A and B are shown apart, each in its own frame.
Chain A
Amino acid sequence: MQHIRAHVLVCAGTGCKSAGSKEVELAFQREIKAQGLADEVMVVETGCHGFCEYGPLVIVYPEGTFYSRVTAEDVPEIVESHLLKGRMVERLLYHEPMTHEMIPKYSDINFYKKQHRLVLAHCGTINPEQIEEYIAVGGYEGLGKALTLMTPEEVVEEVKKSGLRGRGGGGFPTGLKWSFAKQSVNDKKYVICNADEGDPGAFMDRSVLEGDPHKILEGMAICGYAIGADEGYIYVRAEYPLAIKRLRVAIEQAEAMGFLGENIFSSGFNFQIHIKEGAGAFVCGEETALMASIEGKRGMPRPRPPFPAVSGLWGKPTNINNVETFANVPQIIVNGADWYCQFGTEKSKGTKVFALTGKINNTGLAEVPMGITMREIIYDIGGGINNGKKFKAVQIGGPSGGCLPEELLDLPIDYDSLTAVGAMMGSGGLVVMDEDTCMVDVAKFFLNFTQSESCGKCTPCREGTKRMLEILTRITEGQGREGDIELLENMAKNIKETALCGLGQTAPNPVLSTLKYFRNEYEAHIKEKRCPAGVCEKMAVYTITDKCKGCGLCAKTCPVKAISGTLKQQHVIDQAICIKCGACMSVCPFKAITKG
């Protein structure tokens, strides 16, 4: 037997895996053995660290040295230099994008320094496939405490007092939701974990499931105890195979150790959890559609009331929360509501995990206290905009959310402030857009998403979003008409009022928020037939400037022979023939062709 002096944590989240982390892990195993360190250095596969932009990530403890973008070829050097001789491999250390400063330690990186990781606390620091590691960091103590020291009423009260609100979209108070399901009298009740993460760009739920699956099981079991349910379902999209695998392993281990099953903690409480794989329909994130899907029916929402707390899965009282919500529960029980309330704002307690994507330097997952400003997230954690471009907007809340302009960057983010400005928390997807983004095009993108994901049941969503999309499409193609803006606004207002479910009711939000903050862009498209960002291809006008040396390459390349001119003289493009393909611009050796 040997003392393990160092742990090499290799991220095995989906992002890092696709970047080659499995090969890195195998290389470490091989090299460590070759150097005779197998007895004293352990390689640990972990869940996602959130800093996916820089994956594959490797962290070496006890120093906490953070290596980014590690390839299998880098591994012999790390083993020889760091693990054998105690010298960090500087070239693989992380450099801050704004300051270019080298940061060796995990905890000193700005991306992490500004975060407050409660939900993600163990993601990337424990092996998700070993229940022992979860227990070592305090796992299942929340369940133990609830079951042995608290009544179900006390559990519900504690969650109520914590101010926890649903992290999946609407932000409904979790404790209140639990109390509804608790009040329903029935000998059978269900707990459902909504892991049908579908917002474009959002992946926090996947990361938690992959990195800390036991936390979800524990949260669900506590909920089951609180509301009087003995069975739970995790509805997880089939596109998350790794999450499903780790959940299965976790359930098996939890059952083997008696955290799930019968008479847990000798309390008489029984709880079992099933996994239900969803086929990835966006609308199945809506709770009534999700339940229909579990029941084997087509995933279509039904009107509420009755609410699931009264009549849910198979007509039984059911409580549904999403992954991140459940992940907050164990620590609320262990540390108490008062402890939890220190994080966040008056009406939005705790932290929120955001998925940073788009034109930002540090894409990845960031968990921050509620009330932090968008500016802090984008610049301090996200490392600012790519390639030194100017910030234009941030889309928050997925397809149901809205686009916020620069003026609102200092807005403290919580549920209510976001709703007030026409966006919503949603599941926490943040898509950052720079000056090269056309906001009409963005609205079109999101509406296209909701239209193609609409379940087709109610008229406003099925037909209305289609017509709105057609109007947006024609605007981006230079066919916008006088009155289109007003028509869009009128339809958006009515669809919000009349659609059956949350998907339809919020579908117009991206259009409304871009109309609110970027109306001039719509007007430019319609009145001047011009896309200010130069994105809308069909409206682009390619012109050859006097930088032209008359080489003739563009004329040769043009597929429709729209370019004419004599050699060594400035060429011209016949706009009537041009099909805006942009081929000329990309071949011009003198950058003489402009698009506007």
Chain B
Amino acid sequence: MTLWIHAAVLVTFVAPLLMLMALGVAALGGLGGERALGAVTRVGLVTALGGALTALSSYLLTSARPPSLRVGTWFAAGETTFALDLAVDSLSLGFAALSLLICNIVAVFSFRYLHREPGFRRYFFQMAMFVVGITLVALAGSVEVLFVGWELLGLSSALLVGFFQERRGAVNNALRVFAVYRLSDAAMLSAAVLLHHWTGSGNLIALFSGDQSGLAPGQVLLIDALLLVAVACKSALWPFSGWLPRAMEGPTPSSAVYYGALSIHAGCFLLLRAQPLLAASTAATLIAASGGLITAAYGSLAGRVQTDVKSAISYATLTQVGIIVVEIAAGLELVPMLHIAGHACFRLLQFLSAPNVLHERHELDNRLGGALHRPSPTRRAGVYLFALERGFADALLERVLVAPFRLVVAKLDALDRRLVGDTSRARGRAP
């Protein structure tokens, strides 16, 4: 049985990788029409989903708990090994199955939605990158695998926000998203390095199953804090929420799968996996809980005044993400799992049918026999301004993160110019 489950997990792991490679070659070489690319994507995704569902159902049916699957070792040096481990448990297989199901649905949607779009190849390549990323995050049994998945998630996300490259706004916003995701990656990388340093391996399975032997309480807190930063950036928790409305620039299905269904929940999923580690530190638990609460309150406040449908849905999503984080911090297991699954499916449909909102409103009005429009009593102007300005979260990010960063870069740039200027003058050419 273990062999069977491991084989299925391996299929889930390998199929998206092969798909990514095939689409990458197609994108580089400008090869393949819509039909061919569609067939590759379909085969890859259906195979991966089949693998995940087989593994999950077998796992649930058997009483034996199979060990994690070591695909290989990246390299080993002395005591330290960098291993490619895949976790085999209900949480990882469940999230993998959910993610692949959603990716399948979105792919079917996208074939028709992006028909004849000039960036068709690019889109499916980047989606494939996302599929590999989310599969790796779901199945990660070692911090190395997790990190690669996390990076791919962030990279493909930023690329798809900037999908319409000819529009300045889209590219600017993609850069903003990318910057916040880099912060997330930096936190994740620091956590990985510290983990290796302190425990000698990047094995998450032991760590996440409550075995913190060899870690001092202070070390646990630091790793928790880094993980929380990584999660908060990825899931747009407050105070890192400012980028979320900016991410609505890509084609509708990519917004749906990232910010409605999967990417936004990736942080929650990681937190859920790391729950024992989180629970080991009361301070970290409290930080997580309060972060979640503030996010939920903030999301629901800002969401009430947004006047474009995609921002409104994204803040509604954020509200639930905040609550999921609170549930995880409270030590619940099944509830956040159900919450993630249900919320992802619902939001996906809501995002995909966002351009249908006029049609749906009209139908609902007719069926109710009157207008749905029932505005709540007007709030105080100050509260309204706070909500309309999205809690000044974007300005906050700008002031605390972007401006100082930009200042450093500007200084470096000036230095660079001076150095280059000197050299070129030395060579007798004007800069």
- Binding between chains A and B: no
